A and B are shown apart, each in its own frame.
Chain A
Amino acid sequence: RKEVEQDPGPFNVPEGATVAFNCTYSNSASQSFFWYRQDCRKEPKLLMSVYSSGNEDGRFTAQLNRASQYISLLIRDSKLSDSATYLCVVNGPGRRALTFGSGTRLQVQP
């Protein structure tokens, strides 16, 4: 089983739609959680950290469910510029580097 699993998509949504991605992780003792955004043929960029109480940054909301070991990302009022691959990222105990999921591709259509 992969340490971090994501639905690869693609998720094709119209502009203005709300879309949600989930990600599951295998290590129940994982401590830090992030969402990264990666544009085609570019480096990943930190979108937001994910906190236990959930957190919001503008149109983006991240949630963490430790009991079920999943992380979610909700994007409201989708823009064309949101089209990208969204990487779920986890850090576990005893591991000094982040583990990346394979990503979920989002395509926002006009």
Chain B
Amino acid sequence: DGGITQSPKYLFRKEGQNVTLSCEQNLNHDAMYWYRQDPGQGLRLIYYSQIVNDFQKGDIAEGYSVSREKKESFPLTVTSAQKNPTAFYLCASSMGTPDGYTFGSGTRLTVV
């Protein structure tokens, strides 16, 4: 079955550490996205990529980095520069035109 997989499901990070969240899709979608969701709030766009080896900053890119070396993969690194990283991180993919997304099941990151 085609889908989008995020790992890990839960992640705990010490202050000052970088962590990388994995996102893999086998839907043959061109576009991939990272969003962050805080409790009681909507999704906010971090980064997105329309094609391999290209990506653009979203609304809240500071403290995050991404890469898109393969069509299937779009990992997100949360760096120590991100001051408040505790949140629910969602990866999504689409065919490229802004159509409905397919979401992964998310990663809950907690800073301890």
| Residues in A lying within 8 Å of B, measured CB to CB | 4, 8, 31-32, 34, 41-46, 49, 87, 91, 95-103
- Residue with the greatest number of chain B CB neighbours at <10 A, chosen from A31, A42, A97: A97
Checking B41, B48, B103 against A97 with a beta-carbon cut-off of 8 angstroms, the contacting residue is: B48
Asked whether B80 is an interface residue with its Cβ less than 8 Å from the other chain, the reply is no
**CB pair B31 A34 closer than 8 Å:** no
**CB pair A97 B90 closer than 8 Å:** no
- Residue with the greatest number of chain A CB neighbours at <10 A, chosen from B45, B58, B100: B100
**CB pair B42 A102 closer than 8 Å:** yes
Whether A97 touches B104, Cβ cut-off 8 Å, given contacts A44-B43, A102-B41, A103-B42, is no
- Give Cα A95–Cα B33 distance, bound, in whole angstroms: 13
Interface size class of B (residues with CB under 8 A): 20 to 34
Enumerate chain B residues within 8 angstroms of A99, measured Cβ to Cβ. Answer: 45
Asked whether B2 is an interface residue with its Cβ less than 8 Å from the other chain, the reply is no
| Residues in B lying within 8 Å of A, measured CB to CB | 31, 33, 35, 40-45, 48, 50, 56, 58, 88, 90, 98-101, 103-106
Enumerate chain A residues within 8 angstroms of B42, measured Cβ to Cβ. Answer: 4, 87, 100-103
Checking B31, B103, B105 against A96 with a beta-carbon cut-off of 8 angstroms, the contacting residue is: B31
State how many angstroms separate the Cβ of B55 from the closest Cβ of chain A: 11
- Residue with the greatest number of chain B CB neighbours at <10 A, chosen from A4, A43, A98: A43
**CB pair B99 A32 closer than 8 Å:** yes
Q: Return 14 A-B CB contacts under 8 Å, by A number.
A: A31-B98, A32-B98, A42-B106, A43-B90, A43-B105, A87-B42, A87-B43, A91-B98, A95-B98, A97-B33, A97-B48, A98-B33, A100-B35, A100-B43
- Give Cα A53–Cα B83 distance, bound, in whole angstroms: 45
